[in-house]
Structure 1
């Protein structure tokens, strides 16, 4: 038996499996009905309509409906599309034990109850149409026959009954005007069977045969055969040691599954050599088994017990197969088949009986076939002879030798059963797979080892690699592809990973091809390339891929056998060619053009070694020009841009040319976009004076006088400088005459320094030494003020003049700036675009003094950014909010206050920004801790409580308190939850509930928390009293840290130093 899915929940009283979706529905003792997707371990929906335990549930076979019944005496029908209840009935007088829909499409469902009746309901008309009375004790189960109009009920009165309900169908047809009815229409008892010595807990029909299985309080499972005339017992199966609560027929074998209060699930065959032998297939330890269910079509089963439920199977999912050349060998219905690819005819090689096949292998020549069952191997040779052996996980080493596992050791053996050899290099072998010549892959204790058979030694080993199901090697045996339950991977001979991919659904088959590994997972055929890329190929119907030839894939399934399907693999072949850097093949595939369209193809080619190939797919000239730049073809882009005359394309060409150093292309792009500043700078870099003069005249025509002046200085042409001066004077570009640029005229005067100018101050300094000592004491206050004023020198004064180093030095002294790149964008904005001559800096200085930049970097705009971050926080978009607050940290150093009131507002915004940033960082870390599981519950609760200590706006403060009290209450920390509830500003329903329930109770989990706790921003831990005294703060945002973090960069603002001396003033 193989467990496919297992889940821990409250006690499960009823289970059922959906016919087409990988869903299982469970009814819980807590009153919930839950649907789980067992392929991806996700709860699909939970219904909460019942009060008290829910004992029965079931899916409709053809409609999106679900029904449930419980101890509240209610039957509910749910619509699975809307996930809402559409019908609720309450006519039973006692607990409802089971519910089931009709199998023939009739709008009926049947329910069994402790009121000693079963009822049939029409869920469309929402009424009870029949009551099956006659049992003298609780009716424990009721179900419809798969085909006929018969209902089966079982009761604790030790009987089960067969009811003929064909009259109800005739009555329904008569009401629809189809027939005239003159006879009785009520259900009639066909048979009353004294089935067990004690009560009957369960009774079910066989899906295809006239058989019934029943289980009872007498610890016996019985199989019955029935006809219209009588019912007789065929088998009694013993083995359970306590009451048997459930039993179902087992598909594909003449057997039954049963479970009971002896905490076991058991299987037994009622025909064949194992007749009457009951085997334990699952022990649930301390959990009693209450229910069993089976999939309507697949060989899957499910069981519910006191601690949850699980899905299991007895046979491998899919078909065991092996491809050899153009032939495929596989096992179906106990027979080994051989079929040639592309042909429908198949031949039966030999029969392995009812033993389930685990694996199949073919000799190198294809003459011999080796099938491994659960107990032994079966070898079929070319002459039609069949041999068996006691090895497990057996494979071919070569044409005449086998290797397998016997008592957890590797054994090699001749195919004729002769000489054998036991290897000692592996002591706990679980399974074998083929390897390079003379070697095998061995799975041992969750590890994979490459073992040399001849030398009996381990060549390579890789740990943490359990659950390996199959392995296929490429042609030169340098790489192998393997699969586990949910993973497909490619490894090399050194067992190093080349490519890996994890699927949400089970991987059912895979096969090598030169372009990659094709595999099936769920209902999809996909391809894994050697760079780890996964591409969807085609949908499949639960089949496994077994071969790929050109554009044809061959799929295998137990129901349909081998079939072929045409698919388009051009895109995958192209990806493989690009990955292998095979340009010739890539060009050939692009030339053919089959299936190669869309952005996915272009994106893939752009990332390859030949990005220029992507240009062949684009016809729009503008898109083609932009793509040419991305692919490193600037000349092609420029040619297209000349045809288009598109300004945006030329701008992109200009930016690209600057990155690669193509000055000529940059000058042309600047000319086309009329960017005179960039054109002048590039002309100066090129050293072409003629181009520089052209740039000068263009700048003058565009009235860019600062740029024109700069170019005239570079040209060293005084006439051009005077021309600029005349233009500026005439047009009155600047706000006043004093701000007009002044040009130097003539030689600069020599500044003469005489001896007296130096010596006299020195003599005066010597005479005043005594006076200074006294004056220094008197003027301490004055010096302090001057130092403060110097410290308050604003960085904007330097950035506006492009004196970046000076401005950064100021911020380093003021706020301990460590990472200037954090504010680089704002620095460049303040300094303006392009090169500005030194003589023009006064113009920009005037702009700064006039208040243009001050209006941009203002406290009002800072408050707006803070409000934006708070808005994101309200929406629960914490990562986006964190980005906004970090941006505010970068913005605030550029704000220059007009007065002390505005300065206080700026510092208040900074403190609020710090608190929100710290809180969001703690919340994000709490979510990560919560994902890690139960072992991190305490840490998650600590972070939730510390978040509530942050000084936030009232509406957010209340939310943090509610979240913290909910987490504490859920984790059993009642006293802490009560403390948090008392701090809540409003007494909500949740708060009042916690205050009442937690009064006088203690904490299940203790954490360090108090209302006045100080939390270290370095590790989110509470500081002790001694640690608070020696704590340090961020020079900028003021976040508190332990002393050990002194000298590091603040985690909150991410730009300034923790600890050290700085003024802290900047605004």
Structure 2
């Protein structure tokens, strides 16, 4: 089997006895022999958190992610639970009277299993206060490992030093070897022992299927990989071995010089594996996370799980309507159609959809798509179809390229110069593409002549369905090129010498998406914060290049700009586009299907606009679905085509905003008049401000009145000298409780008496008295009487006594003011209290 083994994390530490991956965070939990528990970020290698759990070895630990906990068992017989966010110890109790060797967390129920040197297994329910709900007895030695059945979580297996493996039901205290398994699944267990071997067992017949030898010391662990046909084992000889679970042969041996290997953890949503050693921890990635699949243009999907092959049809998928929520998971009906003899690293449909080629392990096999019958096979590390589906190319070695016609090797017209370059992969399409270190070369399928060599370090090559555009993707950029066959043919006709560089005029660069424009929003076209051009998977839809990125974002490139459709939480891989559904389909690692809406008509319209072909765009516009018109209008607005956007949009709010931007106030007025009164106030205010800016005073006045923008209306009426309007405005302000505005309006009208009345009526008698003394002396007695009554009502007689009629002795005003203030502060007055006849106008609270 050909797969990469990439080391992601290497960290020296105390002896690691237990490891576990977090299901959602990039975290690795490690239990150490010194009693500590560390949490690493396996992407960066940094220690995220450290817990001092015990003073004795921690032999096992597991995440309980749904509670933000981890649970650890140690040699002091204690089971401890910590909240890894708050560092709080949730609980600690003696679970066994001896060492706790292993534990397992139920995938859905609130149950933790613990295995101990006391030869028992116990089940603990955390919803019942960590009550022991079951004890499992039957082993006669130390319990070394526990594992829930991935096919039936009500059952689990235990491994013991008594050289037995037992099957249990959660609800029964005695071992039960009878289990219902899917007929296609092998009922196999893998075990290890101190005899230096790894054994595979059929647990239904209780017979040993295979004994694998290769380790030179006690074997500490062995597990089946959930996604790859592999068995991984680790030993006290310091090595980790990777076995083919079908052929039971060693595929790879890993040694990190960290002494004895003790434990292993598998990450559920990726092919990451962690190993714990005497002197540290290592995380590796096996192969790639991308699922192996291929979809033909009609929506027929072929994918593999290990070496089983499944098919499905996206044309018949549940929920393809436009009303389906973007990103929602859809139900794909799939069926097993066969298997393949090799472990597939890629599947490739022929352009007509009749054949599917499986590539892997240095071989290729071509099958008929419907019956899954073997059509041809051979050695090959890469494969590419020609557009006619009768011609294909096979890369047998990095310097040996063969071309086949009708499944027979073509003897003439070999690809010129193919043996002089070290080729990493082939790419089919209009031209045969080959990429290597620092270059991409294109050949003509028929003549074998070099069309063009391009110096770029490429990851993939994608040809459009029209055959004129090609995308070349690199690590953090991509390039869109246009193939000009006429220019190439003209160069040949003129007798130009075709060198290893090919014909320069054959390709024109349409876009270099590396340092160009930022990624834009698909609706408004405005720049976003994202500049991610690292293409992960991609497809052409006409002249639209749609792709997913390494930062989990679905985007498309059209014209000369990229637009973002949507981000997603987990990595998704592009399956294809179904025009009848107007939806893009993607799959996650487990081939669960998701979809996002994308109208091909909208993309074609955007393409025409970006090219400046307004006549072509006008011809496409009537064919667009009505529900897409607002999206198109936002796009046009982003391109500063606001007049056209105003004609296209059907959204009243958007139309109103565009009308204001274009100073088309009559259109804006018409919209404002049709909006419900409860929603119209903001529109009237906006329209009034714009009308005022363009000197349409009558319209501005109407808008301010209907929008109840009395402040703006007052300024307008003052500017135009409309006294009657100001009188009406003051009454309306009083009615609405805008007393300050009413007072300002009355003051501008010169109606001091009305101002005094307003102050009195609104409970501001002191201010009314002060105002009246200056601007309306005749109103002063009324204001002072109101003030006096107000103070009496508040039961403040001393201050009320300081307020008397102002006409009796106006000269004593300042003295009375000081006395009133002193009384308010609880101090003695500076002069004797005034008599009833003394008069002064004071607001001691002002």
TM-score normalised by the chain length of structure 1? 0.47
- Structure 1, 396-405 or 323-332: larger mean CA deviation: 323-332
1:323 aligns with 2:325: no
Kept in 1, the 8 Å contact 2:100–2:115? The answer is yes
Q: How big is the shift at 1:87?
A: 3.2
Q: 1:582 to 1:497 in 2, by over 3 A?
A: closer
Residue from 453, 466, 471 that aligns with 2:462: 471
Kept in 2, the 8 Å contact 1:161–1:189? The answer is no
1:513 aligns with 2:518: no
For residues 877-916 of structure 1, what are the structure 2 equivalents within 5 Å?
A: none
Q: How big is the shift at 1:610?
A: 1.8
Kept in 1, the 8 Å contact 2:585–2:596? The answer is no
Residue from 121, 124, 133 that aligns with 2:124: 121
Partner of 2:51: 48
Mapped to 1, the partners of 2:467 and 2:460 lie a distance apart of 22
Mapped to 2, the partners of 1:458 and 1:262 lie a distance apart of 55
Partner of 1:750: none
Q: 1:478 to 1:412 in 2, by over 3 A?
A: same
Q: How big is the shift at 1:396?
A: 2.7
Kept in 2, the 8 Å contact 1:248–1:294? The answer is no
1:547 aligns with 2:577: yes
Kept in 1, the 8 Å contact 2:665–2:691? The answer is yes
Q: How big is the shift at 1:248?
A: 0.8
For residues 493-642 of structure 1, what are the structure 2 equivalents within 5 Å?
A: 493=507, 497-499=511-513, 509-514=537-542, 516-519=544-547, 526-530=554-558, 531-536=561-566, 544-553=574-583, 555=585, 567=597, 569=599, 575-583=606-614, 589=621, 594-596=626-628, 603-616=634-647, 627-628=658-659, 630=661, 633-634=662-663, 636-637=664-665
Residue from 392, 403, 420 that aligns with 1:402: 392
Q: How big is the shift at 1:431?
A: 1.1
Partner of 2:408: 416
Kept in 2, the 8 Å contact 1:150–1:162? The answer is no
Q: How big is the shift at 1:139?
A: 4.2
Kept in 1, the 8 Å contact 2:138–2:175? The answer is no
Partner of 1:278: 250
Residue from 377, 402, 424 that aligns with 1:388: 377
Residue from 34, 37, 48 that aligns with 2:39: 34
Runs of 5+ consecutive residues of structure 1 not aligned to the other structure? 171-186, 192-205, 656-664, 675-697, 703-1067
Residue from 272, 288, 293 that aligns with 2:265: 293
Q: 1:81 to 1:700 in 2, by over 3 A?
A: closer
Mapped to 2, the partners of 1:336 and 1:135 lie a distance apart of 41
Q: 1:585 to 1:92 in 2, by over 3 A?
A: farther
Partner of 2:326: none
Q: How big is the shift at 1:247?
A: 0.9
Mapped to 2, the partners of 1:529 and 1:672 lie a distance apart of 45
For residues 771-782 of structure 1, what are the structure 2 equivalents within 5 Å?
A: none
For residues 863-1012 of structure 1, what are the structure 2 equivalents within 5 Å?
A: none
Q: 1:91 to 1:503 in 2, by over 3 A?
A: farther
Partner of 1:257: 232
Partner of 2:209: 234
Residue from 102, 107, 110 that aligns with 2:113: 110
Mapped to 2, the partners of 1:111 and 1:357 lie a distance apart of 39
Mapped to 2, the partners of 1:643 and 1:61 lie a distance apart of 53
Kept in 2, the 8 Å contact 1:3–1:311? The answer is yes
Paired residue secondary structure (1:342): helix
Runs of 5+ consecutive residues of structure 2 not aligned to the other structure? 178-182, 318-331, 483-506, 520-529, 673-682, 702-717, 723-846
Report which of the two has the higher share of strand.
2
Mapped to 2, the partners of 1:23 and 1:241 lie a distance apart of 34
Partner of 1:310: 283
Aligned length: 615
Partner of 1:898: none
1:223 aligns with 2:200: yes
Note the aligned Cα RMSD (angstroms).
5.5
Mapped to 2, the partners of 1:47 and 1:387 lie a distance apart of 56
Mapped to 2, the partners of 1:60 and 1:209 lie a distance apart of 29
Mapped to 2, the partners of 1:120 and 1:340 lie a distance apart of 44
Mapped to 2, the partners of 1:328 and 1:494 lie a distance apart of 34
Kept in 1, the 8 Å contact 2:74–2:101? The answer is yes
Partner of 1:772: none
Paired residue secondary structure (1:317): coil
1:427 aligns with 2:430: no
Q: How big is the shift at 1:279?
A: 1.9
Partner of 1:58: 62
Kept in 2, the 8 Å contact 1:59–1:67? The answer is yes
Partner of 2:811: none
For residues 720-869 of structure 1, what are the structure 2 equivalents within 5 Å?
A: none
Paired residue secondary structure (2:315): coil
TM-score normalised by the chain length of structure 2? 0.58
Bigger RCO of structures 1 and 2 (CA < 8 A, at least 6 apart): 2
Q: 1:585 to 1:65 in 2, by over 3 A?
A: farther
Paired residue secondary structure (2:345): strand
Q: 1:627 to 1:116 in 2, by over 3 A?
A: same
Mapped to 2, the partners of 1:489 and 1:56 lie a distance apart of 50
Q: 1:607 to 1:360 in 2, by over 3 A?
A: same
1:248 aligns with 2:223: yes
Mapped to 1, the partners of 2:41 and 2:602 lie a distance apart of 36
1:76 aligns with 2:104: no
Q: What CA deviation, in whole Å up to 9, does each residue of 1:41-81 have, x standing for no partner?
A: 79997463624664423345987764333466543345689
Partner of 1:15: 19
Paired residue secondary structure (2:296): strand
Q: 1:559 to 1:154 in 2, by over 3 A?
A: closer
Paired residue secondary structure (1:357): coil
Mapped to 1, the partners of 2:336 and 2:164 lie a distance apart of 47
Partner of 1:199: none
Q: 1:386 to 1:591 in 2, by over 3 A?
A: closer
Mapped to 1, the partners of 2:668 and 2:353 lie a distance apart of 60
Q: 1:418 to 1:578 in 2, by over 3 A?
A: closer
Kept in 2, the 8 Å contact 1:441–1:449? The answer is yes
Kept in 2, the 8 Å contact 1:339–1:346? The answer is yes
Mapped to 2, the partners of 1:574 and 1:354 lie a distance apart of 47
Mapped to 2, the partners of 1:301 and 1:427 lie a distance apart of 34
Q: How big is the shift at 1:100?
A: 0.7
Mapped to 2, the partners of 1:357 and 1:141 lie a distance apart of 32
Kept in 2, the 8 Å contact 1:425–1:457? The answer is no
Mapped to 2, the partners of 1:3 and 1:211 lie a distance apart of 25
Q: How big is the shift at 1:532?
A: 1.8
Q: How big is the shift at 1:604?
A: 3.3
Q: 1:324 to 1:371 in 2, by over 3 A?
A: farther
Q: How big is the shift at 1:562?
A: 10
For residues 1013-1028 of structure 1, what are the structure 2 equivalents within 5 Å?
A: none
